[in-house]
Amino acid sequence: MPTYRELIQTSSLERFDAQVLLLHIVQKNRAWLITHDTDLASDEHSAAFAALAARRRIGEPVAYILGSREFYGREFVVTPAVLIPRPDTELLVELAIARAPQAGRVIDLGTGSGCIPITLKLERPDLNVAALDISTDALAVATQNAAALNADVRFLPSDWLAAVAGEQFELIVSNPPYIEANDAHLTQGDLRFEPSGALTDGSDGLQHLATIITQAKQHLVSGAWLLLEHGWDQGAACRELLQQAGYAEAQTWRDLGDNDRVSGGQWRS
Ligand code: GLN
């Protein structure tokens, strides 16, 4: 019988991934591993770990194997129907929390797991929060997350803003698919398992950003902000799109990794 430590060492996985998968199987926290890593693993635990390790070895993301990922201090259910929440996106949430006026109407476009609107609603219960996605599979996951976390968010199927014709908001946010179609990352690592429709526009990466910037003008009250997550090299292009579309205060913010990550502008009509 191997010890838990030996299971991790012989898995040929990155140590952190192996630990996370093992802790999921034994249903314990990290502290337990420190004091029990030389315990013998039961056959049941060994077999279950071997099965998960095999999935990880062929590249399946840990979040899909576990079925959840932490975002802004809360656990969200994730399935292959949704993008795995990234820490980078917490910047978008922080900017939104700071800019949403009291009791404002906020909408998230392309919501995926729902991590953005659900976090906004839980951090700012005064807000009236809605979220859209073209994928009904994604909306099922987002709805499940909102129920589990007790967040009152309105979810609607929609091709960008089509489903809310005539509605106005005090803030619009989005983390749309912005990776260029020919970006090599799409065919490497964890991204291969994520929905390509959540990652890339199939073009130069700016198509959905441009569509949102144009469509949002009809839906922003005067003084309202549009905040968009984008790639590290898309800040200048985004600000230009915002300026050309007539937004004021076009600017870009950097994420914790010091990369351009969110751009936004204020609509004044
Ligand atoms: N930030 C993600 C990545 O680079 C992409 C998410 C997106 O396209 N919205 O992996």
Mean pLDDT (whole number) for 185-214: 97
Ligand 1: does its nearest atom lie under 6 Å from the Cβ of 13?
Answer: no
Ligand 1: does its nearest atom lie under 6 Å from the Cβ of 74?
Answer: no
Domain 84-267 in this protein, CATH class: alpha beta
The protein residue whose alpha carbon is closest to atom 2 in ligand 1 is 199
Rounded to whole angstroms, the Cα distance separating 220 from 205 reads 24
CATH 3.40.50.150 residue ranges for the chain: 84-267
The per-residue DSSP string of 19-36 comes to HHHHHHHHT--HHHHHHH
Q: At 219, is the pLDDT very low, low, confident or very high (cuts 50, 70, 90)? A: very high
Mean pLDDT (whole number) for 156-160: 98
Q: At 1, is the pLDDT very low, low, confident or very high (cuts 50, 70, 90)? A: confident
Degrees, nearest 5: CA angle 239-135-212: 20
Mean pLDDT (whole number) for 196-207: 97
- 148 CA to middle of ligand 1, Å? 25
Position 126 scores a pLDDT of: 98
Residue 199 alpha carbon, nearest atom of ligand 1: 8
The protein residue whose alpha carbon is closest to atom 10 in ligand 1 is 191
Residue 230 alpha carbon, nearest atom of ligand 1: 9
Ligand 1: does its nearest atom lie under 6 Å from the Cβ of 86?
Answer: yes
Q: At 216, is the pLDDT very low, low, confident or very high (cuts 50, 70, 90)? A: very high
The protein residue whose alpha carbon is closest to atom 6 in ligand 1 is 199
151 Cβ neighbours under 8 A, 6+ residues apart: 117, 118, 121, 122, 129, 145
Q: Is the pLDDT higher at 269 or at 154?
A: 154
The per-residue DSSP string of 203-234 comes to SSS-HHHHHHHHHHGGGEEEEEEEEEE--TT-
Give the mutation target among 115, 179, 209 for probing the ligand 1 site: most ligand atoms within 8 A of CB.
179
- 34 CA to middle of ligand 1, Å? 34
Mean pLDDT (whole number) for 49-58: 97
Does the pLDDT at position 111 exceed 90? yes
Rounded to whole angstroms, the Cα distance separating 53 from 267 reads 49
The residue type of 127 is L
Give the mutation target among 69, 82, 83, 191 for probing the ligand 1 site: most ligand atoms within 8 A of CB.
83
